[in-house]
Copies of this chain bind each other. A is one copy, B any other.
Amino acid sequence: MDDKNLTIGDIAEELGVSKTTISRAISGKGRIGEKTRERVLSYIEEHNYRPNVIAKGLAQQKTFNLAVVLPGDYNVAELPFFQKCMLGISRVASAHGYDVLLSMVTAQNTKQLRRAVANRKIDGAILTRTLAEDEPMKFLLQSGVPFVAIGSTDDESVVQIDNDHRSACRELTERLLQSGIRKLALIGSDESHIVTKNRRQGFEDAFEKKKGWKGSRQIFTNVRENAQVQKIVEELIADGTECIVSMDDFLCGCVLNALQQRNVAVPEQMQVVSFYDSTLLEHQKPSVTSIRFDVEELGQKACETLLAMLEGESVELRTLLGYEVRMRNSTKKK
């Protein structure tokens, strides 16, 4: 059945034509007689021939591999994001005949990525997040390897695919304000992640637009540990904050936990909002009002864009994908 190592040469011999002809029949490039092509194609079909991609690559100076750069220090909150993103990327890659090579990097250690590039094992790369000081990005930039970044950056020379976090956070905040909330707080993690800045801006934007608005807001960033959240929540309860917006589902989990332990009812005594709408909070009661991004689509789009670049097509410098605000039971109905 599996004529395992059938080569183009074998087929040529078998069919009494040249290797060139076989190659042309397969690739569709170059002129070839309709009948010859059909003969070749049906032979291939029947004998289950699969071209050797490595050899093809060598001849064409391609690898048909894409590197996906994955931070090794992803935290729990980001894991579901990574998973879906990866799914989107690998589906598109696969559909286009590409494979995905994994490069795990940390802030200090970009070895794996460097190796993949130095060994010429990839045609392009996808960065799965963006940092203010982004080593992998710097490296990619100076190495000349085509790449796209999932996330945003000020660098006008990098192709970016991102959700519109700023607008999303603005819209969400606006809705909260419209519902009559006068005192709210935003909690986020690493300021070094560009996405954190963008959300923060969106939050501020909402207040900008509401000029004469009376009320107060507080912002906490670089919050990473449950202990910090507990402290913050305690303060917020004390000073009468009405709503806590968390920038990721891990933080939101901590917030809910803190409230529960202090017997503060959600949403009656404190409203709670999160981002991502990930599996992390999936089973939470009450269900959590959240922004929803289609992460798989994000991955797909990123991969499609990179593939287009590799084909020499010109692509948008910046692709902003949408979002959805999902009002649920952790906030009061207006």
Contact = CB atoms under 8 A, between A and B. Distances in A.
A58 interface: yes
Interface stretch (A10-18, A114-122, A154-162): A114-122
Given A58-B55, A79-B80, A80-B76, A119 B280 contact: no
Given A79-B80, A83-B79, A102 B121 contact: no
B58 A54 contact: yes
A54 B90 CA distance: 21
B80 A119 contact: no
A327 interface: no
A101 to B, nearest CB: 5
Contacts of A115: 94, 99
Contact of A99 (B53, B74, B80, B121): B121
Contacts of A118: 50
A121 B74 CA distance: 28
A44 interface: no
A227 to B, nearest CB: 7
A64 B104 CA distance: 17
Contacts of A120: 50, 52-54
A104 B90 contact: yes
B104 A101 contact: no
A72 interface: yes
Interface string A218-234: 00000001110000000
Contacts of A103: 90
Interface string A81-113: 001001100110010000111111000000110
A9 interface: no
A279 B53 contact: no
B254 A76 contact: no
A72 B86 CA distance: 9
A119 B53 contact: yes
A139 to B, nearest CB: 12
